[in-house]
Amino acid sequence: MPTKLEKFDEYKTLPNCFTFLFNDLQNGFELKGNWKKTVFKNENPIVLELGCGKGEYSVGLAKQHKEKNYIGIDIKSNRIWSGATEAADLRLENIAFLRTRIDFIDYCFAQNEVDEIWITFPDPQPQSTRARKRLTHPLFLNRYKKFLKPNGIIQLKTDSTSLYEFTLETLTEQQLNLHWHTNNLYKNCPTNRKELIEIKTHYEALFTSRGEDIKFVEFGF
């Protein structure tokens, strides 16, 4: 198994991996508005996974849905390396990875460029002083709104009761469209949405093995 440094170096050479960091803010991102044309070379819908970690969820979705394009996003290239190398080995052409901070996400995608967003087991930032860091805080929702299509959807999976309740409260306060939610996804998963529990991230598998309930929220603007 490569070391962390070796993964970092190899990440830079993988054709399905891209990077946008603070120093790029001044010049902009050449892929903004051009993901379909330049990277995927098709007109299929684009789906993002924010904080993708090792990319298990993005890769799993990409294998199941060849009719969609997936982009896993994380700041840690040594994490992304796992999913990126698996996708390359499987010759999956409908998935890419982007190394960036979620704070910069609206610099990476153009208006109406994204159809769907997954937020899978993010850091719940339980301290009240870090509420602005939660990925369903209005600060982040306003960023997503800049590039998500008007009928696009955002889906949150979490083990955190506090983040789940915070998200529901935020949606009410912001008057956003709550499509569906549950505090026990594995118990209440609709029969026509089995894909919600068929693919598990590393953390989801860990949490469910402990008997913890998985919360789910689907909403839009």
Which one of the listed residues 74, 89, 106, 123 is annotated catalytic?
123
Judging by beta carbons within 10 Å of its beta carbon (0-12, 13-18, 19+), is residue 152 exposed, middle or buried?
buried
Take residue 130 and report the two structure tokens written for it: 């870090």
115 assigned to active site: no
Just list the catalytic residues: 123
